[in-house]
Structure 1
Amino acid sequence: MQASSYPYFDLGHPQALAHRGGALYPPNLGCENTVTAFANAISLGYRYLETDVHCTSDGVAVAFHDDRLDRVTDGTGAIAELPWEVVSQAVVGDGERIPRLDELFERFPQARLNIDVKSNSAVVPTAQAILQHGVLERVCVGSFSQRRLTQIRVLLGNRLATAAGGPGIATLRLLPTWVSQWLRTSAPVLQVPATYTIAGRKVAVVTPELVAATHRRDKLLHVWTIDDAQTMHDLLDLGVDGIVSDRIDVLRDVLLERGQWIELGEADPAR
Structure 2
Amino acid sequence: MTHPWFAGRTPRILAHRGFVPPDADGIVENSFAAIAAAHAAGAGYIESDCHVTADGHVVLLHDADLSRVVGDPRPVAQVTLAELERLMSGIGGLITLRQALEGFPDVRFNLDVKTEAAAVPVGRAVAPHAERVLLASFSDARRRAALDAAGHFGGGIRPATSAGTATIARVLTAVRAHTPWMVRRALAGVDALQIPERRGPVRVLTPRLIDAAHRCGVEVHVWTVNDPLHMARLVELGVDGLVTDRTDLALRAVAKGR
What is the TM-score normalised by the length of structure 1?
0.84
Q: Is it true that 1:19 corresponds to 2:16 in the alignment?
A: yes
Q: Please give the alpha-carbon distance, in whole angstroms, between the structure 2 residues aligned to 1:26 and 1:62.
A: 25
State the Cα distance separating 1:114 from its structure 2 match.
0.3
State the Cα distance separating 1:38 from its structure 2 match.
1.4
Instruction: Considering Cα pairs closer than 8 Å and 6+ residues apart, tell me whether 1 or 2 has the greater RCO.
Output: 1
Tell whether the 8 Å contact from 2:50 to 2:114 is kept in structure 1 after alignment: yes
User: Aligned letter for 1:236?
Assistant: V
Q: Please give the alpha-carbon distance, in whole angstroms, between the structure 2 residues aligned to 1:28 and 1:166.
A: 35
State the Cα distance separating 1:101 from its structure 2 match.
0.6
User: Aligned letter for 2:191?
Assistant: P
Q: For 1:71-90, list aligned pairs within 5 A.
A: 71-73=68-70, 75-90=72-87
State the Cα distance separating 1:194 from its structure 2 match.
0.9
Q: Which runs of 5+ in 2 are unaligned?
A: 152-156
The 4+ residue runs of structure 1 with deviation greater than 6 A are none
* Aligned match of 1:188: 191
User: Aligned letter for 1:70?
Assistant: S
Tell whether the 8 Å contact from 2:108 to 2:133 is kept in structure 1 after alignment: yes
Tell whether the 8 Å contact from 1:52 to 1:63 is kept in structure 2 after alignment: yes
Q: For 1:93-172, list aligned pairs within 5 A.
A: 94-131=90-127, 134-157=128-151, 159-167=158-166, 169=168
State the Cα distance separating 1:27 from its structure 2 match.
2.8
* Aligned match of 2:204: 205
* Aligned match of 2:154: none
Tell whether the 8 Å contact from 2:27 to 2:33 is kept in structure 1 after alignment: no
Measured against aligned partners, the alpha-carbon deviations of 1:116-137 in whole angstroms (never above 9, x if no partner) come to: 0111111111112113xx2011
* Count of residues paired in the alignment: 249
Q: Please give the alpha-carbon distance, in whole angstroms, between the structure 1 residues aligned to 2:143 and 2:58.
A: 16
State the Cα distance separating 1:149 from its structure 2 match.
1.3
Q: 1:173 to 1:26 in 2, by over 3 A?
A: farther
* Aligned match of 1:36: 33
State the Cα distance separating 1:76 from its structure 2 match.
4.0
Q: Which runs of 5+ in 1 are unaligned?
A: 260-271
Percent pairwise identity: 33
Aligned with 1:129: secondary structure?
Answer: helix
Q: 1:190 to 1:68 in 2, by over 3 A?
A: same
Aligned with 2:248: secondary structure?
Answer: helix
Q: Please give the alpha-carbon distance, in whole angstroms, between the structure 1 residues aligned to 2:8 and 2:70.
A: 34
State the Cα distance separating 1:159 from its structure 2 match.
2.4
Aligned with 1:5: secondary structure?
Answer: coil
User: Aligned letter for 1:125?
Assistant: P
* Aligned match of 1:6: 3
Measured against aligned partners, the alpha-carbon deviations of 1:81-101 in whole angstroms (never above 9, x if no partner) come to: 122222221126x44222111
Aligned with 1:97: secondary structure?
Answer: coil
Q: Is it true that 1:48 corresponds to 2:36 in the alignment?
A: no
State the Cα distance separating 1:52 from its structure 2 match.
0.3
User: Aligned letter for 2:250?
Assistant: L
User: Aligned letter for 1:180?
Assistant: V
User: Aligned letter for 2:76?
Assistant: I
User: Aligned letter for 2:143?
Assistant: L
The answer to which structure has the higher helix fraction is 2
